[in-house]
Structure formats: C-alpha cells, structure tokens
Amino acid sequence: MIEIKDLWYTYPGRSEPTLKGINLRVEKGEFVLLTGPTGCGKSTLLKTLNGIIPHESGGIFSGSVKIKGMETTESNQIEISKEVGLVFQNPDDQIFSTTVEDEVAFGPENLCFERKEIDRKVEEALKIVGMSGHRLASTNSLSGGQKQRICIASMLAMAPEVLAMDEPVSQMDPRGTHEVLNTVRELNRKLKTTILLVEHRLHELAPFVDRIVIMDEGKIVFDQPASKAFDHLEVFYRLGLRIPEPVELCHSLGIKASPLSVSGALALLDTEDFRKNINIFQPSPNPEKSTVVIKNSSRKPSTENNNSENNNSENNNSENNNSENNNSENNNSENNNSENNNSENNNSENNNSENNNSENNNSENNNSENNNSENNNSENNGYENNDCKNNRSSIVSIQDLWSGYEKNKMVLKGINLEINKGERVAIMGTNGSGKSTLLLHLAAILKPDKGSVKVFEEDTRSKNPYSFAGKVGFVFQNPDLMLFCDSAEEEARFGPVQLKYSNIEERVKNSLEAMSILPFRYDLPQALSRGQRLRTAVASVISINPELILLDEPTTGQDRMNIEQMMDFFKNNNSTLIFCTHDIEVAMSYATRILVMNDGKIIADGKGKEVIKDTESLRKASLTQPPVVEIANHLGINAFSVKELVKTLTSRSAEGIKC
C-alpha cells in the first residue's frame, strides 16, 4: 500500500536534509505508530504521502514514494488525495469552513457525491468522532480537541484507503482519545484502512497499533511489532521517549514481558512465580485514606515551599512562607534552585490542615447572596472566602465568573477561585469545559459577562493584556498565533527589548537554552517542528521572567525528555504557574494543585493525590486514573507512581524473605 525507497528531502533555505534515506513499507490494513524525538522529521514524512511535499513545499526531493503503486511526484494531487487522507498536526491549519457541517461536507462535495450521500457521510463521520451534537456549530467556537475531532471526521467522510494522522488526538481529553482511537481501530479492522499515525503519547496509542516505527534525526532507527517493541527499552530511554507505565512497572520488577494494558500487567503480577515472595493481592494493613476533595471551592491554596515537618495549619502562615527576595526580574532559572522549592521536600500527605476538611467548613457560614447551590455548588464550597481575601500572597482572585462567546451561551458558569503566589496549578477537564477560556480571562484577553477577575489585586475589566506586560506571560494552545519574528532568537528578545530590561542577551540565551531551542536560535520559527515552535513561544515568555505564567497545553507535541526539561524549569522557578493539560501524569508529577473542570464549572480542586482518588469527578470530566494508580488500586496498595509501587512491592518481598 505504501512503499518508500531512499527518500531524502531538504526544505527550501535549509542546508541540512530533514529526511535522510527513508525506507519504509506499510501493507494494506496495517496500523502503524510513527514516533520519535521532537523535530526528527515525522510530520515531514507524512506530508510526502499525499504529495504536499514536494508539490506545494518546493525544496530538494529525491527517492520514491508510492501509494498503491502510484508515484506521488508524478501524480496529480487531486488523485492522490482520493487515496490518502491527511489529518494535520494543527487543526487550525486545516479547518476553513464556518460551520462543522460545511467542513465535513467539503471533501465529499468535491468528489461530486449526491446530496443525500453527502448528508449520510457527514452524519456518519460526526457520529464516529462523537460530534453529532455540534453539526451546526461554528468552527470558531470549538475547543482544540473538538477541532481535532472535526478534522478526523472530514477525512473519514471521504473514506480514503490510507489515513495519515499527525498527532490527531494530542488535544483531546483521555476518554475522547480512547473513544476516537477505538473507532479508528474498528474502521482499520473492518474496512482494512491503512493507518500511519504520528504521536508521542505511546502509553495511549501502543495498545491500538500493530507496529511501532521510531525516527531520529531524519532516519528510521527502529521498526518492530507493537507486542515486541518494548522489549528494547534501551532505545526508548536513549531517545527520550515515554514508556507505558505497565511496561515500566514490569521491567522494574524484573518481569521479562511488556504488557501494554492494566489487565495485562495484573495478569503478569498474578502469576505463581511472581507471588512467591510478594503478597501482592492482599491490601495493606492500614491503607492511607485520601482526603476529601473540595469541589468548586474558593479554597485556601497550598503553598509549595511548606516544609512537611512544620506543616501544621496553625503555624503555616502564608505570609511567612514566601521569600521577600523572590524578585521576578532577578529570578534567573539557573540560580533558582531553592531546596525548599523541590517537590521531594513537599510531602503532600503531611500538608493537610485540620481546618481544611470540608466537614468542618459548613456552607451556612458562606452565606453571600450569589452563593446559591446552582451557581456555586455550595455543598462542596468548603472554605470561607475571607480566608483567601485576607491572604496577602494571593495573585488570582475570581468571584462568580460567568463568560461566553455567544449570547445566552455561557462557557464559564459561576467560577470561584483563589491562587497563591508560587503555586503550580494544573487545569484539567473535558474538551470544551472552559479551561482555555479561563486562562484567557487571567490574561485580561477576555472580560467577564458577570462576576470579577482580579490579577495582582487589579480588576481585569478595566485592563488590557498590555497592562500586565512583564508580570503575566501567556502561551497559546496554538504557538503560531504568537510567533512573528524572523528567528527564534528574535522571538525571545522581543519582550525584554520592549520592556527595556537590562541583561537582554543573557535573558535570551538562558530562555532558549532552558527550552532546548539554542541550537535553532537563528532559524525561522515557522521552519521548526510544532513542538519546537511551542518551546520557542515558551522561551519568548520566560525571557521576561513574569511573576505569573499561563500555559495552554504546553506538553503537546513534546517527547518525554523535553516535557521533563520544560516542567523541571518551572518546578525550580519561583513564578506562579497555571497550565491546562490533558496529561494527568504530568499534572501529578509537577502541579502542587489540580483543578478539574466540566461544563464550565470547577468540580474538583485539591492536591494531585486527592484529585486522583476522586473517581467520580474524573469520570464526569472524561479523565482517567494513570495506569499505575489503577494497578495499585487492584493490588490494594496506596501508590501514585511506578517508583512508589515498585518500592512497596519490593519491600513486601523483603518482608516475606525475612519471615
């Protein structure tokens, strides 16, 4: 079906080839996952399949790309597009119609199908991706994940024999990802559609695919069946790729197998040989009980720098918990490695104030006129607002925020939120739940329809984004919306120059280095991969060292190594960080607090270990527990990472040997 021989390609204006001698054969009906480090040439390879490269791109092309025996360089793009459907990495690059229906109908209309057949195809494609209820919606009103679903639907409506998909689920919530992949897999099996899919999130994709192909520096360096691919973990570690937790767990325990699912891992852990020394299917004598999650609350936020030994609520005055020397302009990341700022010293299990229990915070004391249960979920609103109003370190204060893009159609519905200086807050939830909209309010880009938003104690109604220049940094979900300079270096320099900062060149170098963009400092941003463009956008923000950093899906398109480097930077930086993400593992590892949103409301708010135990809120928000937490739950063990679970299991093994 797909046959690529000795493919080389160099973009216009580049001296170094992006693709270097690619040889690949994909049979009809195969489902192939293509992965590799950010910027290794994956997206470029996909664009050769439908002739965008070289027909539209120019550049230097050599070698052969055949689809069903048809040479793409010698064929008309219209003919190629009938056979190959390409889902772009950035949905905004693909969507051009004003309504969902028109976008999905565009392909079948151009293939001259009858009107009834077009309607049937549109209805069927939207049903497959779970967007039937949005048929008449404006494409501009959709979230990033919803736009990705529409792009997939527009390709499915044309029923191509080859489906090339570039990170098609990167902005979808976990449940939506699973549903779409299940459906695509079903089409693959029933219709023998050949699928080549690019993705970094191996833990979510691996169970669905037949084969895993890895690229590095423009070359294919690994090609194995999915069932055997993770027997070669050294390749994944060397290239900085994410490994599915069930695989990592079993290998850490010395089990020579690579299960791709929770059930597969449990089956291996339940074997007689493995259970000889480890009593794993008996619950711990006193399993730790999770604390109650306070939903949609104006809760008193946690402070990251609290030392766990002294973290008694009576002594834990937030004013004393924030260094006065935390000047944002002098807060260079290289010098900012405070011992107190290390998450390992901040044990969340010990950070539970007795007064912080929802049972002790009766809603009768929270008796404002607007605090009815419909708008504010008062039965869960466990903290009095005065706690946060009197907290001098509060950076964000939101009261009864209602907001929407269309009249009488609210996206945010009665949001109440307080965020303190130094917190790292992850916002998670269903696609379209209002996460990005909430961030836009914090940057004063949007104004409330009702209620108030205060940032640094200033009401955003009377402010514009420029009012917070130097204090608030914002990175859009689509980095292309904020890249306009001729080089990555100029992007990082723009902010400090406009704000007339000193030591500009040092700021530029440090920010590019922190995001691993220094080797591309002179490159045109649009010539970089999407993951590199996103990191360039982040570098342009951290070069001004703002006190409040807002990131919308910062890990999209990033490999494990770049995710860790980026998030480690923010972990060691004294700025307040608020970021939207669907990656619950990243949220658990790096956020001091997690908000869960659904239908415009905050339905859960707490530390990661609290939120991850609130399965009902996770279900409502289309989120799932990380595989390792599911495995630990089945084993009756209180663990939230592979490291914690391995430690518990091996300690039980040692106890068994002593007996």
- Hunting for tokens 């959709």 — which residue is that? 142
Residue 380 has pLDDT above 80, yes or no: no
181 and 54 together in one domain: yes
pLDDT number for residue 273? 66
Predicted confidence band of residue 654 (pLDDT cuts 50, 70, 90): low
pLDDT number for residue 581? 96
Q: What angle do CA 148, 154, 156 make, to 5 degrees?
A: 105
220 and 258 together in one domain: no
What amino acid occupies position 548? L
For the domain that residue 115 is a member of, what is the CATH number?
Answer: 3.40.50.300
Please answer whether residues 48 and 71 qualify as being in contact, where contact means their C-beta atoms are separated by less than 8 angstroms.
Answer: no
Mean pLDDT across 420-438: 95
pLDDT number for residue 278? 59
Torsion angles phi and psi, residue 63, rounded to 5:
105, -165
Count of CB atoms situated within 10 Å of the CB of 111: 16
157 and 98 together in one domain: yes
274 and 154 together in one domain: no
pLDDT digit string (tens) for 519-567?
999 999 988 999 999 999 999 999 999 999 999 999 988 999 999 999 9
257 and 187 together in one domain: no
Cα distance between residue 600 and residue 412, in whole Å: 4
**Helices within 206-305 (DSSP H only):** 226-229, 233-238, 245-252, 262-269, 272-275
Mean pLDDT is highest, among 281-290, 316-325, 447-456, for: 447-456
Mean pLDDT across 278-305: 42
266 and 235 together in one domain: no
167 and 281 together in one domain: no
Residue 635 has pLDDT above 60, yes or no: yes
36 and 162 together in one domain: yes
253 and 225 together in one domain: no
Looking at the domain assignment, is residue 389 inside a domain?
A: no
pLDDT number for residue 263? 92
Torsion angles phi and psi, residue 312, rounded to 5:
-75, 135
User: Per the structure block, which two tokens stand in for 38?
Assistant: 């950010």
Angle between helices 642-658 and 245-252 (to 10 degrees): 30
The residue that leads in pLDDT, 134 or 320, is 134
Residue 482 has pLDDT above 70, yes or no: yes
Please answer whether residues 549 and 422 qualify as being in contact, where contact means their C-beta atoms are separated by less than 8 angstroms.
Answer: no
Domain count, the chain: 2
pLDDT number for residue 120? 95
Mean pLDDT across 450-472: 93
Angle between helices 504-514 and 488-498 (to 10 degrees): 130
Residues 59-93, buried b or exposed e (16+ Cβ, 10 A)?
A: eebebebbbeeeebeebeeeebbbbbbbbbbbbbe
Residue 444 has pLDDT above 90, yes or no: yes
Residue 579 has pLDDT above 50, yes or no: yes
Mean pLDDT is highest, among 175-179, 327-331, 480-484, for: 480-484
Looking at the domain assignment, is residue 313 inside a domain?
A: no
Closest Cα to residue 40, out of 222, 195, 181? 222
Residue 225 has pLDDT above 80, yes or no: yes
User: Per the structure block, which two tokens stand in for 506?
Assistant: 């040092």
Closest Cα to residue 385, out of 404, 374, 370, 406? 370
Looking at the domain assignment, is residue 338 inside a domain?
A: no
Considering only CA atoms, give the Rg of the chain. Answer: 25
Cα distance between residue 420 and residue 205, in whole Å: 37
Predicted confidence band of residue 303 (pLDDT cuts 50, 70, 90): very low
CB under 8 Å to 55, separation ≥6 — which residues? Answer: 73, 77
Domain's final residue, options 216, 243, 270:
243
pLDDT number for residue 323? 39
Mean pLDDT across 355-374: 38
Cα distance between residue 214 and residue 234, in whole Å: 13
Please answer whether residues 169 and 181 qualify as being in contact, where contact means their C-beta atoms are separated by less than 8 angstroms.
Answer: yes
Residue 359 has pLDDT above 70, yes or no: no
Please answer whether residues 226 and 212 qualify as being in contact, where contact means their C-beta atoms are separated by less than 8 angstroms.
Answer: yes
Residue 313 has pLDDT above 50, yes or no: no
Residue 327 has pLDDT above 80, yes or no: no
Mean pLDDT across 312-331: 40
State CA 386 to chain mean position distance: 34
Residue 322 has pLDDT above 60, yes or no: no
Domain's final residue, options 226, 243, 260:
243
Mean pLDDT across 75-101: 89
pLDDT number for residue 329? 39
Closest Cα to residue 577, out of 555, 609, 603? 555
**Structural domain boundaries enclosing 203:** 2-243
DSSP string across 583-651: -HHHHHHH-SEEEEEETTEEEEEE-HHHHHH-HHHHHHTT----HHHHHHHHTT---SSHHHHHHHHHH
User: Per the structure block, which two tokens stand in for 464?
Assistant: 């514009």
239 and 261 together in one domain: no
Cα distance between residue 202 and residue 258, in whole Å: 13
User: Which of these ranges, 98-102, 266-270, 341-345, 607-611, has the smallest mean pLDDT?
Assistant: 341-345
Question: In this prediction, what percent of the chain has a pLDDT beyond 90?
Answer: 62
pLDDT number for residue 583? 92
194 and 75 together in one domain: yes
CB under 8 Å to 626, separation ≥6 — which residues? Answer: 245, 584, 585, 588, 612, 640
CB under 8 Å to 311, separation ≥6 — which residues? Answer: 350, 351
What amino acid occupies position 569? F
Looking at the domain assignment, is residue 432 inside a domain?
A: no
What amino acid occupies position 554? P
Looking at the domain assignment, is residue 476 inside a domain?
A: no
Residue 310 has pLDDT above 50, yes or no: no
pLDDT number for residue 655? 54
- Hunting for tokens 């990472």 — which residue is that? 641
Closest Cα to residue 117, out of 106, 128, 109, 129? 109
pLDDT number for residue 406? 83
Predicted confidence band of residue 275 (pLDDT cuts 50, 70, 90): low
pLDDT number for residue 289? 39
Domain's final residue, options 208, 243, 278:
243
pLDDT number for residue 283? 44
Distances from the Cα of 300 to the Cα of 14, 357, 370, 390, 418, angstroms = 53, 11, 20, 10, 7
The residue that leads in pLDDT, 328 or 265, is 265
SS3 label, residue 25: strand
Mean pLDDT across 214-220: 97
Question: In this prediction, what percent of the chain has a pLDDT beyond 70?
Answer: 80
Q: Given the DSSP bridges, would you call strands 31-35 and 84-87 parallel, antiparallel or unpaired?
A: unpaired
Looking at the domain assignment, is residue 90 inside a domain?
A: yes
- Hunting for tokens 């700025």 — which residue is that? 575
99 and 186 together in one domain: yes
Distances from the Cα of 526 to the Cα of 102, 479, 630, angstroms = 29, 10, 41
User: Per the structure block, which two tokens stand in for 240?
Assistant: 């900085």
Residue 71 has pLDDT above 90, yes or no: yes
CB under 8 Å to 153, separation ≥6 — which residues? Answer: 104, 122, 125, 126, 128, 129, 131
CB under 8 Å to 192, separation ≥6 — which residues? Answer: 28, 29
Cα distance between residue 527 and residue 483, in whole Å: 11
pLDDT mean across residues, the chain: 83
Please answer whether residues 555 and 535 qualify as being in contact, where contact means their C-beta atoms are separated by less than 8 angstroms.
Answer: no
Looking at the domain assignment, is residue 554 inside a domain?
A: no
Looking at the domain assignment, is residue 583 inside a domain?
A: no
User: Per the structure block, which two tokens stand in for 62?
Assistant: 């050599």
Cα distance between residue 87 and residue 82, in whole Å: 14
